[in-house]
Structure 1
Amino acid sequence: MKQLLTLSIVLTCLIVVAWSVSPGSTNAAPEWQSYAPPHWILGPIQGADGSEKIVLNNLDQITRAKIPITAFHFDAPDWQSCTGNLQFRYSDAVLDQMRARNIRGLFWVVPLIGLNCPEYQVALANNYFVKDAQNNVIVTDNFTGHGSWIDYDNPAAVAYWRSLLDSLRARVGNVLGGFYTDSVRPDKRNGVVAYGEAYALDLLDYTRTYVPDGDVVFKRYGVNTPSDAWLNQYAHVAYVNDLPTNFSGMKTGIERVFATTPLMPLPYNEFSGFAKAAPDSETYIRRMHWGAFQPVMENVPFGKQPWDPSFTPQVMQVYRYYAMLHRELEPYLHSYDQAAFEDQTPIFRDMDASRYSARLGNEFFVQYVTDYTPAVQIKLPPGVWINYWNEAEVFKGNRTIMYRAPLGKEPILIARGAIIPMRVYSNLTGHGTGKSEYALTVNVYPIDHSTFRYHDTTNGWLTFDVKGPTRRVALCTLGNVPSEPIIYRIASIAKKPDTVTEQNGAVGINTAWGTPLPERNNKKAVGRNASGWYYETNANRLWVKISTLGTDCPAP
């Protein structure tokens, strides 16, 4: 297929070693490496198709439940006034709600125009559609629509298709976050992968050109979807096709995400599954844990949403908790995503597809629950691991344990020494309060010395550095200065400190240096004030906030 699409970026000028373990890798740096990854794509993402009433009900339900989604996925052709004309058919009420909550739109798009659309006649009259060997326009009829496919070998056809994208962009404005791709050309199943790649590449170029912080969700394991070599070169994020909603489908989703991890930074499985048969309440809850501990969390069920009355009330409670936890982890996940852009290091590590477990970054080890069971066997990696749900419970690594996993408290283990940056919006997860939002919360699990490389969107890379496992602890930022106040949430502080001090961005606990910080009455007061500290006696946890930032790092 002729290369008709001129990217506004240089696709092959950077030469570095590609993902060393990726199938189909080349010596060229991935094209996505040229762009800063957007935060919003990490989710949580909520999706639905259907009427405006259904979409508004989705937005109302997540608003009422305070589920902090970053994007809404308009799935299937339903959001269009006619299949493939790319005209947003919903009223401004939808867009107004999204703008009010800073929710981006992720639009399902394939380059097919429906037979009953006026745009079809325009494209037909101008020879914009793909034809068969007998020079007849190909017409297909499946879930993508009943119509014909834009000819990517025809520059005029591509220009016409882009004019339809322009109309969508003009209509929805800054709500546009990006696009969600799908299988194409059912007339030649897996016989025209080049067509799928041309469609994907043009959509990527359009997004990069007109949506500076936009993204395109590609598809693996589909019909005529891009090859692994193409995905390795261009894809930042991709889903692993529609799968059953039962535990078997969940297992396949985990296996596929693990297998796709070497290709790109953000492979993911829509945790709801996508099939007519809805999961039962227990399966849905286990799947929510899987969704929260992927780099991208998306809920886009084919049928029932988690607030459906057929589910137990716990389903919605757990969805709210895990969605909030995933959103809080955005600074942590974004730092790993940015690192993947720069050094091509996968975010998932130590993946075990036979046990359905993995490390998400270095700080979390997660065992997914993939069956009806009250307990799971966990093979721990080397190190020392802290139970997220009960930080007093600590496990020595490099051994196998039995772990009780009640619904809504699936296995999440934190490495001792972990430093985990978070964005906390409320008191739901216990990581802060509503006063925490305008500071970066940094969870610390001290050992002798540990660091975390954090990507500050404004000031770039900096390093959190923590020294001292005993009563004397120093917490510092090295390299660049943070662009916002810091709330340290420090675990395993056995006794209330004698002093908590600050010196040019460094925090000292029982040290001989620095200016004393004021003690506050509670953690909410810590968040509300510019600086201060509070010792949470029953949790052996210290909360410290500083707003005077710097890069001093004296010894503890």
Structure 2
Amino acid sequence: MTPTTIARLMLCLLASPLAYAQNADRQLQGHTRNQNTLELATSDGRYLIKPYSANVVETTFIPNGERFEAASHAVVLAPVDVGARLTDEGARLVYATAGITVVVDKRPFRISYLYKGKPLVAEKHGYGRDGKMETIEFALDDGEALYGAGARAAGMDRRGKRFQLYNKAHYGYGEKSQLLNFTIPLALSSKKYAIHFDNPQVGWLDFDSRKDGTLRYEVIGGRKTYQVVAGDSWDGVMADYTALTGRQPLPPRWAFGNFASRFGYKSEAQTRAVVDRFIADKIPLDAVVLDLFWFGKTVKDTMGNLAWDRDTFPNAEKMMADLKQKGVKTVIVTEPFVLTTSQRWQEAVQQRVLATDEAGKPATYDFYFGNTGLVDMYTQRSRDWFWNVYKNLKAGGVAGWWGDLGEPEVHPSWVQHGEDGARQGADRIHNIYGHDWARLIAEGYRKDYPNERPFILMRAGYSGSQRFGMIPWSGDVSRGWGGLQSQVEISLQMGMQGLAYMHSDLGGFAGAVLDDELYVRWLQYGVFQPVFRPHAQDDVAPEPVFRSERTKVLAREAVWLRYAMLPYNYTLAFDNSSTGMPLMRPVLFEEDEATAISSTYLWGHDFLVAPVVEPGATRKEVHFPVKGSVWFDFHTGEKHMGGITEVVKPAEANIPVYVRAGAFVPMAKVVQSTRDYSTRSIDLHYYHDASVAKGEGKMYDDDGETADAYAKGRYEIVRFASQYAGGKLEIRFSTETGKAQAASERGFALKVHNVQARPRAVTVDGKAVRFSWNDQHNLLEVPVAARKQPSSTVVVTL
């Protein structure tokens, strides 16, 4: 970095409000560089500043008298030498990568961060103590919007609020909730940077609640480490943050289908009957979820049995095999609590698999389900015991796991975890308990079933839980309009924090509310969120097969659309696994000014979705992002211009959904189960507009079940490209096949939207073909015959 560049950086920083962030008491006493790490000696400790990449830098403060805690529960990226350059300018040190520059002012001592010459954020007092809490403070710009802190319903821009970092269930919450099951020590800024506080212990994350321009992290103890992540775009921030904390592996394909679930199915006979009802009503189904009645007849006193109740499920293994023959997987709930009244209590005590009290005896306490102990995830002995429970159940036919109450729901501070030499109090590990529970299952699969993708549905986790394949859900939301209203924000925010499969109990969970309009609107939204899983208390049936006839018809249409969109949705999931981009994306990702919008969102790159979240809605405000872009109504074809907000009239049969001009949307034939899913015949929709000179898209496909299929070369990617000029539209198909994958024979029904007049000619690979053009819908349909040929070209002369 040249002196001229450094001088320019300093001018940028001095012109920023961040220049006033300082700590007059801390004095720099010296500095050294050890390979990739810059070490600063100060009057009260030392700083370690270490780049992980050009766009990710970690800073750790170690107070005098304390030892460095090297272990991170969140970070999996290995730091590399990115050629950072250290310059001593006399009054300051400049430690610069190609992306992030760290500026250390010597007197007064101050650490500031810039990205490609633009000020990002600066420590404001930096590390300090406030009573029993340790703190790290940063200075914020005026007008800077903040996101993160886990799953909350507190408004899309969360600046001005203070959030507790303590995973906790909020039963029956509605439009607002300040504290839910996932509390993540991560702040993201509208300036396209993130700060991850790399410490799971309980505390607070204050997003400038005092209105003095301060981001403040407060914790009871542990690491004083944070990472700054920055990028040119949100795509870059997402890619770098998920590279740091891990990417979500691709779930099994059946996870994108429909689930039958309630609290709960009480017998084998009832479970079989429900599945048969879906098949009879031609509502696609891929999984049935069994709540706690699979191991006991009562809600209380049986948790921890962790074995089939043979009175009510006498032939569970045969039931699961029969359901599998029908294309339906079985998912069962497990909890980490072992009640003193359960069948396994003595076994758990004798094998010493439970968390303990101060005296080393099994910790027991009361909660809603009874008097309980808690499985200790922090000894190898306990993990092996719990994993063997899962292995035995899997051997009988269980296909997926639902981990409930994993905050843990009740977790007194006096409870101790781990072996004698490394015991930890509950508050040190509370926020990573669910994270490490998911890790146990994920690592078990990697060891014992390395070719299978696990399905791990869980209610609590931490930074990086996505890398274990965790599929989070938003907890016990109320069955009311307020409950629906909060769901988009929760999913968008969690996607920004790496957990891209956050979803809700469709229809709402808590309360005996029979509201067919609410139910239908929730399911219509569910088509465009990561997991389609209606679930509720059984006072009112959550399954569409038990609803009124009109409700059933509308619900069936939503499920059919969900299955038709599987090629698009599965490709989104592949992109998430390879880039970290969430499936649901805020408009902010495309418009810097859209800092507070969650009523409209993007489903992948090409869909814009506006859920109907009010009863009897006759109008819906929709913001169409990006001036100069064009959007088409997915259902009617009506054209809308980007960069404006419009009021539209919702239809009963669907919520407002739009597709970007230039988009390719592959869709499949609807099947009763993804077992019968095929991409051999695809309806490929292309949304043409004269304003789009070039477009592109793709479709990812594999067998839907092999772990790491892409890395193993067991995949196909069909890439689509369009070019329009001089009245001629050219659409190209090309297929990339993995090294271990044979090419498939695949045909397309190409459907080109917004073709205003009958084309003069259409050719496929230079040969004229028959086509149809619908003048009412301005829709051109061109058959592209099935072939193994790796590429094809369609030319439409308009």
Offset of residue 111 of structure 1: 2.1
For the residues of structure 1 that align with 2:288 and 2:726, how far apart are their CA atoms?
46
Name the stretch that deviates more: 467-476 or 342-351.
Answer: 467-476
Structure 1 residues 349-388: Cα deviation after superposition (integer angstroms, max 9, x where no partner): 2347655110111211111111122221222223222112
Secondary structure class of the residue paired with 2:502? strand
For the residues of structure 2 that align with 1:85 and 1:470, how far apart are their CA atoms?
71
Counterpart amino acid of residue 520 in structure 2: I
For the residues of structure 2 that align with 1:34 and 1:244, how far apart are their CA atoms?
28
1:328 aligns with 2:564: yes
Offset of residue 182 of structure 1: 3.3
For the residues of structure 2 that align with 1:472 and 1:395, how far apart are their CA atoms?
23
For the residues of structure 2 that align with 1:146 and 1:50, how far apart are their CA atoms?
24
For the residues of structure 2 that align with 1:170 and 1:123, how far apart are their CA atoms?
21
Structure 1: 5+ residue runs without aligned partners?
220-224, 428-433, 504-512, 520-532
Q: Structure 1 residues 236, 305: CA separation in 2 closer, same or farther (over 3 Å shift)?
A: same
- 1:525 is aligned to none
Structure with the higher fraction of residues in strand conformation: 2
- 1:381 is aligned to 625
Q: Structure 1 residues 177, 194: CA separation in 2 closer, same or farther (over 3 Å shift)?
A: closer
Secondary structure class of the residue paired with 2:303? coil
For the residues of structure 2 that align with 1:88 and 1:463, how far apart are their CA atoms?
47
- 1:137 is aligned to 362
Offset of residue 319 of structure 1: 1.2
- 1:359 is aligned to 602
For the residues of structure 2 that align with 1:487 and 1:144, how far apart are their CA atoms?
55
Q: Structure 1 residues 426, 39: CA separation in 2 closer, same or farther (over 3 Å shift)?
A: closer
- 1:118 is aligned to 343
Offset of residue 397 of structure 1: 2.2
Contact 1:181 1:200 in 2 (8 A): no
Secondary structure class of the residue paired with 2:285? coil
- 1:547 is aligned to 786
- 1:461 is aligned to 717
Mapping of residues 165-244 of structure 1, within 5 Å: 165-172=390-397, 176-183=399-406, 184=408, 186-188=410-412, 191=427, 192-211=430-449, 212-219=452-459, 225-227=460-462, 229-231=463-465, 234=468, 236-244=470-478
Offset of residue 234 of structure 1: 4.5
1:40 aligns with 2:254: yes
Structure 1 residues 189-208: Cα deviation after superposition (integer angstroms, max 9, x where no partner): 78323433332321222244
Counterpart amino acid of residue 199 in structure 1: W
Offset of residue 488 of structure 1: 1.8
- 1:492 is aligned to 754
For the residues of structure 2 that align with 1:324 and 1:84, how far apart are their CA atoms?
38
For the residues of structure 1 that align with 2:523 and 2:386, how far apart are their CA atoms?
37
Secondary structure class of the residue paired with 1:83? coil
Offset of residue 142 of structure 1: 4.0
Q: Structure 1 residues 234, 96: CA separation in 2 closer, same or farther (over 3 Å shift)?
A: closer
Contact 2:764 2:793 in 1 (8 A): no
Contact 1:218 1:239 in 2 (8 A): yes
For the residues of structure 1 that align with 2:448 and 2:724, how far apart are their CA atoms?
49
Structure 1 residues 14-37: Cα deviation after superposition (integer angstroms, max 9, x where no partner): 879999756637567266538444
Contact 2:481 2:613 in 1 (8 A): yes
Secondary structure class of the residue paired with 2:411? helix
Offset of residue 311 of structure 1: 5.0
Offset of residue 127 of structure 1: 2.1
Contact 2:620 2:649 in 1 (8 A): yes
Contact 1:271 1:287 in 2 (8 A): yes
For the residues of structure 2 that align with 1:37 and 1:329, how far apart are their CA atoms?
16
- 1:64 is aligned to 280
1:266 aligns with 2:498: no
Structure 1 residues 40-62: Cα deviation after superposition (integer angstroms, max 9, x where no partner): 22232221223124323321232
Offset of residue 235 of structure 1: 5.2
Offset of residue 280 of structure 1: 0.8
Contact 1:487 1:544 in 2 (8 A): yes
Contact 2:541 2:547 in 1 (8 A): no
Q: Structure 1 residues 151, 180: CA separation in 2 closer, same or farther (over 3 Å shift)?
A: closer
Q: Structure 1 residues 125, 327: CA separation in 2 closer, same or farther (over 3 Å shift)?
A: same
Contact 1:387 1:413 in 2 (8 A): yes
Offset of residue 69 of structure 1: 2.5
Q: Structure 1 residues 210, 490: CA separation in 2 closer, same or farther (over 3 Å shift)?
A: farther
For the residues of structure 2 that align with 1:262 and 1:55, how far apart are their CA atoms?
37
For the residues of structure 1 that align with 2:466 and 2:378, how far apart are their CA atoms?
24
Offset of residue 486 of structure 1: 2.3
Q: Structure 1 residues 486, 278: CA separation in 2 closer, same or farther (over 3 Å shift)?
A: same
Structure 1 residues 305-347: Cα deviation after superposition (integer angstroms, max 9, x where no partner): 2567995432211211111111221211221221122122222
Offset of residue 300 of structure 1: 1.0
1:24 aligns with 2:196: yes
- 2:512 is aligned to 277
Counterpart amino acid of residue 256 in structure 2: L
- 2:734 is aligned to 478
1:443 aligns with 2:663: no
For the residues of structure 1 that align with 2:677 and 2:753, how far apart are their CA atoms?
20
Counterpart amino acid of residue 631 in structure 2: W
Structure with the higher fraction of residues in helix conformation: 1
Counterpart amino acid of residue 301 in structure 1: A
For the residues of structure 2 that align with 1:455 and 1:410, how far apart are their CA atoms?
27
Q: Structure 1 residues 236, 168: CA separation in 2 closer, same or farther (over 3 Å shift)?
A: closer
Offset of residue 459 of structure 1: 3.6
Q: CA RMSD in A?
A: 3.4
Contact 2:277 2:545 in 1 (8 A): no
Contact 2:473 2:502 in 1 (8 A): yes
Structure 2: 5+ residue runs without aligned partners?
1-68, 83-98, 100-185, 198-226, 228-240, 297-301, 414-425, 588-593, 703-713, 738-742
Q: Structure 1 residues 310, 169: CA separation in 2 closer, same or farther (over 3 Å shift)?
A: closer
Offset of residue 112 of structure 1: 2.2
Which of the two has higher C-alpha Rg?
2
Q: Structure 1 residues 337, 309: CA separation in 2 closer, same or farther (over 3 Å shift)?
A: closer
TM-score by length of 2: 0.58
Mapping of residues 294-443 of structure 1, within 5 Å: 294-303=529-538, 304-306=540-542, 311-351=547-587, 354-372=597-615, 373-382=617-626, 383-391=629-637, 393-425=638-670, 438-443=680-685
Name the stretch that deviates more: 38-47 or 158-167.
Answer: 38-47
Match of 1:502 among 764, 779, 797: 764
- 2:15 is aligned to none
Counterpart amino acid of residue 376 in structure 2: D
Q: Structure 1 residues 390, 159: CA separation in 2 closer, same or farther (over 3 Å shift)?
A: same
1:99 aligns with 2:302: no
Structure 1 residues 378-401: Cα deviation after superposition (integer angstroms, max 9, x where no partner): 22223222112211x212222222
1:83 aligns with 2:321: no
Offset of residue 73 of structure 1: 2.4
Offset of residue 123 of structure 1: 1.6
Offset of residue 455 of structure 1: 1.7
Q: Structure 1 residues 93, 61: CA separation in 2 closer, same or farther (over 3 Å shift)?
A: farther
Structure 1 residues 148-186: Cα deviation after superposition (integer angstroms, max 9, x where no partner): 2222333222222222111101111xx513444433251
Contact 2:545 2:552 in 1 (8 A): no
For the residues of structure 1 that align with 2:525 and 2:794, how far apart are their CA atoms?
41
Secondary structure class of the residue paired with 2:582? coil
For the residues of structure 2 that align with 1:350 and 1:151, how far apart are their CA atoms?
38
Counterpart amino acid of residue 214 in structure 1: P
TM-score by length of 1: 0.81
Contact 1:306 1:319 in 2 (8 A): no
Offset of residue 419 of structure 1: 0.6
Secondary structure class of the residue paired with 2:685? strand
For the residues of structure 2 that align with 1:33 and 1:464, how far apart are their CA atoms?
26
